[in-house]
Amino acid sequence: MTDIANTCDLLLTGGLILTLDDAHSLLKDGAIAIADRKIVDIGASESVCARWSAKTTIDARGRLVMPGLVNVHNHTPLMITRGMIEDIGLAPMFTPGIPQGHWLTEEDAYALSCLGLFEMLRNGCTTVVDFYRYPMALARAASELGIRAVVAGRVHDADPAGLSQGRYDYKTKIGERSLRENAALIERWDGHDGGRLRCDWAPHAPDTCSDDLLREVKKLVDAHGGNVHTHLSQLPGEVAAVQARSGLTPPQLLDTLGLLDEKLIAAHCLHLEGDDIALCGRSKMTVAYAPIGNAKGGRIAPIMELRDAGARIALCTDTFSGDMIEAMRWGLSMQRIDRQGSVLEARTMVDWATRGGAAALGMDETIGSLEIGKRADIVMLDDRSPRLTPMIDGYGVLVHSAVGNDVDTVIVDGRIVVEGGRLASADGDAIVARAQATASALWRRAGRDPIR
Ligand SMILES: [Zn+2]
């Protein structure tokens, strides 16, 4: 018997492990030792178990073990429009007759954020970029539910009341308030819980932010660090408004203001004109590929062209789903439809949903793969599920067949937050009931008669 020299907090044994390391190593009977929130050992079960004794051991036999999924663009309070907006309009702020973001109270935002984060954790997402109004509520929900999050407030100065009527009224007071709100967020939450929460800047879009406001954001980002999160070339109206205002396309405008660079994570990139793709590629920006949202608007983003031009690609759900596995499958299928052929492999989608997101967020030393020294953000799927059979290379069945509901256990920062498919960090039933009550009240205000 080997002497066990080390004690760890958590030991996973007997799993089929997709490490997503540089060599994409696979361990057929693997174990992971976790201590102080980090992976301290990974390898064959026999040898890892010989080196470590654990306070808690998880039997991972019959489980596909992989890094947690990274969702690089989302707005949890917009869960309020799910299941309705898809058939009514596009972004809520441009759509009359539905609950508007400016109707929400901070407690409404908190209730909806808990719902969104619960759904994401349940489906294997361990890191999310979440930005909207009331970012303090978003950060509080992320702190309590145990997800890793990059949180930001929605910075803009176009008056939302005018936007739903198609008017751009830029108001300095609105811009200043959103900047103040984000500064307070950073002061309160940036670096919370050993860095599990980070706070960034998120100017909403080139049309809903004036040039002056975008210049101010650029200064603040340069001083603070982190990423800039935005929507880019999402809607024809945005492109037209920016053209009318500046004579530039949205990417050209961001480039002129010094915001189009490797720190930028921009969702959508659908309506790109002329040389925009080359410009985005040269900048090394990250495209937050949002296939489910894009499809519901009837569009496919030119992801392969953007990647070939040099842009980095990461994956997101943009609130239309909490299931990053679903987003991987949609993302792959839509590019195949667009290019009429097999332009993407399942493994690339898994890379974008893990390593790609981590790299975009500057967290590639911390998360995105299962390696010694990285934070223990780990997902386990039940590979005895019919949907995960036959298991041949691991990646194919994950992208083409699995669903988020196959996720059994989720660990974030070394803490078990989903166990046996149930939320372990909070009362999931209470979260769902509170979110339904919140949503029903807001839809009643919009003139609907919710069935619950
Ligand atoms: Zn968005």
Over residues 425-449, the pLDDT tens digits come to 999 999 999 999 999 999 999 988 9
Q: How sure is the predictor about 297, in pLDDT bands with cuts at 50, 70 and 90?
A: confident
CB 350 within 8 A of CB 398: yes
Q: Tell me how far the alpha carbon of residue 388 lies from the centroid of ligand 1, in angstroms.
A: 31
Residue 371: pLDDT over 50: yes
Please give the Cα distance from 259 to 227 (Å, whole number): 10
Q: Tell me how far the alpha carbon of residue 380 lies from the centroid of ligand 1, in angstroms.
A: 28
Residue 360: pLDDT over 80: yes
Q: Which residues pair with 375 in a beta bridge?
A: 38
Q: Give long-range contacts, CB 8 A cutoff, 24+ apart: 415-418.
A: 415/37, 415/146, 416/10, 416/58, 417/121, 417/145, 417/146, 417/147, 418/121, 418/122
pTM over 0.95: yes
Q: How sure is the predictor about 138, in pLDDT bands with cuts at 50, 70 and 90?
A: very high
Q: Tell me how far the alpha carbon of residue 318 lies from the centroid of ligand 1, in angstroms.
A: 5
Residues with Cβ < 8 Å from 70, sequence gap 6 or more? 125, 126, 127, 128, 314, 315, 353, 354, 356, 357, 358, 361, 367, 368
User: Hey, is 381 helix, strand or coil?
Assistant: strand
Residues with CB under 5 A from ligand 1 (ion): 267, 318
- Sign (positive/negative) of CA torsion 111, 152, 350, 333? positive
Residue 4: pLDDT over 80: no
pLDDT reported for residue 72: 98
Q: Tell me how far the alpha carbon of residue 74 lies from the centroid of ligand 1, in angstroms.
A: 6
DSSP-derived letter for residue 76 is G
Q: Tell me how far the alpha carbon of residue 17 lies from the centroid of ligand 1, in angstroms.
A: 32
Tokens 């590639």: give the residue. 364
Please give the Cα distance from 449 to 452 (Å, whole number): 9
**Mean pLDDT, the chain, whole residue set:** 95
User: Which letter, b or e, does each residue of 338-347 get, where b requires 16 or more Cβ atoms within 10 Å of its Cβ?
Assistant: beeeeebebb
Residue 310: pLDDT over 60: yes
User: Hey, is 195 helix, strand or coil?
Assistant: helix
Q: Tell me how far the alpha carbon of residue 402 lies from the centroid of ligand 1, in angstroms.
A: 25
Of 137, 76, 134, the C-alpha closest to 110 is 137
- Can you tell me the mean pLDDT for 326-341? 94
| pLDDT tens for each residue of 53-82 | 999 999 999 999 999 999 999 999 988 888
Residue 94: pLDDT over 70: no
Q: Tell me how far the alpha carbon of residue 229 lies from the centroid of ligand 1, in angstroms.
A: 9
CA distances from 172 to 1, 131, 152, 212, 323 (A): 71, 21, 20, 9, 38
Q: Tell me how far the alpha carbon of residue 352 lies from the centroid of ligand 1, in angstroms.
A: 18
- Can you tell me the mean pLDDT for 222-236? 97
Q: Tell me how far the alpha carbon of residue 100 lies from the centroid of ligand 1, in angstroms.
A: 15
- Can you tell me the mean pLDDT for 235-251? 96
Q: Tell me how far the alpha carbon of residue 225 lies from the centroid of ligand 1, in angstroms.
A: 21
Q: How sure is the predictor about 340, in pLDDT bands with cuts at 50, 70 and 90?
A: confident
pLDDT reported for residue 296: 83
Which H or E run includes 189? Answer: helix 172-189
Q: Are strands 6-18 and 52-59 parallel, antiparallel or unpaired?
A: parallel
Of 146, 34, 24, the C-alpha closest to 375 is 34
Dump the DSSP string for 82-141.
TTTHHHH-SSGGG-TTS--GGG--HHHHHHHHHHHHHHHHHTTEEEEEEEES-HHHHHHH
pLDDT reported for residue 1: 47
Hey, what's the torsion of the CAs at 160, 164, 166, 169, to 10 degrees? Answer: -20
pLDDT reported for residue 93: 64
Q: Tell me how far the alpha carbon of residue 259 lies from the centroid of ligand 1, in angstroms.
A: 18
Q: Tell me how far the alpha carbon of residue 430 lies from the centroid of ligand 1, in angstroms.
A: 27
Q: Tell me how far the alpha carbon of residue 117 lies from the centroid of ligand 1, in angstroms.
A: 16
Q: Tell me how far the alpha carbon of residue 433 lies from the centroid of ligand 1, in angstroms.
A: 25
Q: Tell me how far the alpha carbon of residue 51 lies from the centroid of ligand 1, in angstroms.
A: 46
pLDDT reported for residue 3: 55
Please give the Cα distance from 229 to 263 (Å, whole number): 9
Q: Tell me how far the alpha carbon of residue 2 lies from the centroid of ligand 1, in angstroms.
A: 53
